[in-house]
Amino acid sequence: MPTYRVPEAAALLGVSDDTVRRWIEQGRLAAARDTSGRYHEVDGVSLAGLAQELSTEPAPGGAHRSTRNRLRGIVTRVVRDTVMAQVEMQAGPYRIVSLVSREAADELGLEPGVVAVASVKATDVAVEHVEHA
């Protein structure tokens, strides 16, 4: 199961490190201390759930930022059948759904809580697993 340090979790949720620490203290976000006892490691599945909870649709006519066709986010759900997989992810306020082959989803290790990048080209969205430090 993937885990993330507080700064990584904050970046994925679009909030400050202090906000993530406060949510950990309040029990809103599952985390445990690392082996040194100095740093929190945020549970990836818990992070994915909170990302979904925090997501909101962009306001109509609101400011739009260029993404350069790549949206980094966290996988929130993967539904596999024998041939295909439906991959859902949250990239800031945006929910992205992509259909990929089951083989690709398995090879990329796409599971809830994993960081991924959605590459958008015309009507196609490709999702790839991103390793975190």
Report the DSSP beta bridge partners of residue 77. 88
Total domains in the chain come to 2
Q: Note whether 40 and 84 are same-domain residues.
A: no
Q: Is 114 domain-assigned?
A: yes
Q: Is 58 domain-assigned?
A: no
> Quick one: pLDDT at residue 60?
47
Q: Is 45 helix (H, G, I), strand (E, B) or coil?
A: helix
- By DSSP bridging, strand 40-43 and strand 31-33 are antiparallel
Q: Is 25 domain-assigned?
A: yes
Residues of the chain where predicted confidence (pLDDT) is lower than 70: 56-68, 122-124, 133
Write the CATH number for 81.
2.40.50.100
> Quick one: pLDDT at residue 66?
46
Taking alpha carbons only, the member of 66, 72, 80 closest to residue 127 is 72
> Quick one: pLDDT at residue 14?
83
